[in-house]
Amino acid sequence: MTTQAPLEGLLVLDFSQFLAGPSAALRLADLGATVIKVERPVQGELCRQLYISDLEIDGDSTLFHTINRNKRSYAADLKSSSDLHKVRQLIARADVMIENFRPGVMERIGLGFDAVRALNQRIVYASVTGYGPRGPWVELPGQDLLAQSRSGLVWLSGDGGQGPVPVGLALADILTGAHMVQGILAALVRRGLGGTGGRVEVSLLESALDFQFEVLTTHLNDGGQPPRRAMFANAHAYLGAPYGIYATRDGHIALAMGSIETLAKALDCGALAPYFDRSTWFKQRDAIKQILKEHLVSQDTQYWLDRLVAVDYWCAPVMSWPELLAHEGFKTLDFLQDVRRSSGAVVRTTRCPIRIDGRRAGSALAAPKVGEHNAWVEQTFGITQAQETAHVV
């Protein structure tokens, strides 16, 4: 069995910043590609100073460290004809190029798809936008919360009495990055068959919409009814009782789909007897959930788990991060790794969630300093200096 990483030998140029594009490049790096992060000199990518907490490691935000490990940094001023000359040489050698500037910016720089393809017919050129390449929203900032809000996603979380509730993660960004990887790999497969590259385009809005494909399809076919969230313990606006999270005496328990009759017997909850008919599980959802709310708080989580697991009812404890990290079920996954910078700074972070041939990709290479690998890149790929160094206006 080969030990070679699946994408070993591929060169990826990551011109993107923030989350969606860089997360796609990160996954390609995890799978073996050489990823060079092309960023502006001195300050580097803006995400270096984008904080999701007040924690800073070795001069950069934890967000930057998380999303840019296993990459090399090449600092280049794209407004400089000298630097642009070098970048074009890199593009001529690359297999994949990723960018997430607003539509039209790369064309003005001279690195739009047509210009890049003239340099390299085999390249896969991947772009991220907020709301697609055209239309009335094309110039608006493509940011995760804004995309969630426009997509309707925020009306699916929270209880029925609440207003819109966003997902507490950069969901649209990460989904878009995953979709970009899918498109890039598909284009690379096609290139392997036909010899030419292609263009991959994804957007935050379309990825957020695709994430809702089940419930949006229901909406499109049920006369356009709005989603109806449960008034209590809502976990899915389109699923009936008992689906949700409930407080117990010492914590919380999650109940997924299953027969109310089986649930009532396992919990010894006679008050659920009027709701054994499947048709009531949505129509009387709030009444069923109210009964469960009052019943489950009487015992500890483990007490209920023991009774439910015994009858194969789908359930789980609601765990905190410390509880999860300490559990043998998590430790068995071997999901964490330490990555190290040349400065000696160490970052504890996650690993690639994909196993191939029983092996999970890993790398000890931490996110780079700005321009840390300029000399290595130029030597490795034979990058030469331009004859003229005039500044592009």
Query: From residue 313, how far is each of 259, 262, 266 by CA, in Å?
Result: 9, 8, 9
Statement: residue 243 has pLDDT above 70: yes
d(CA 119, CA 34): 20
d(CA 359, CA 111): 37
Q: Are 78 and 109 in contact (CB under 8 A)?
A: yes
d(CA 308, CA 242): 13
pLDDT band at 53 (very low <50, low <70, confident <90, very high): confident
Active site (catalytic) residues: 173
**Mean pLDDT score of the chain:** 93
Q: Compute the radius of gyration of the chain from its Cα atoms.
A: 25
pLDDT band at 29 (very low <50, low <70, confident <90, very high): very high
Statement: residue 208 has pLDDT above 60: yes
pLDDT at 349: 92
* Topology given in CATH for the domain delimited by 11-211+332-380: Rossmann fold (3.40.50)
Statement: residue 292 has pLDDT above 50: yes
Q: Which of 340, 234, 338, 251 is nearest to 299 (CA)?
A: 251
pLDDT at 102: 87
Which residue intervals of the chain bear CATH 3.40.50.10540?
Answer: 11-211+332-380
Buried b (16+ CB within 10 A) or exposed e, 26-61: bbbbbbbbbbbbbbbeeebbebbeeeeeeeebeebb
d(CA 54, CA 368): 20
Residue 247 burial (10 A CB sphere; 0-12, 13-18, 19+): middle
pLDDT band at 284 (very low <50, low <70, confident <90, very high): very high
pLDDT at 50: 80
pLDDT at 11: 98
Statement: residue 10 has pLDDT above 90: yes
Q: Are 392 and 81 in contact (CB under 8 A)?
A: yes
Strand partners, 36: 13, 72
Q: Are 99 and 13 in contact (CB under 8 A)?
A: no
d(CA 62, CA 184): 27
Q: Are 76 and 52 in contact (CB under 8 A)?
A: no
Lowest average pLDDT, out of 54-58, 105-109, 370-374, 378-382, goes to: 54-58
pLDDT band at 393 (very low <50, low <70, confident <90, very high): very low
Statement: residue 331 has pLDDT above 80: yes
Percent of the chain with pLDDT over 90: 85
Statement: residue 2 has pLDDT above 70: no
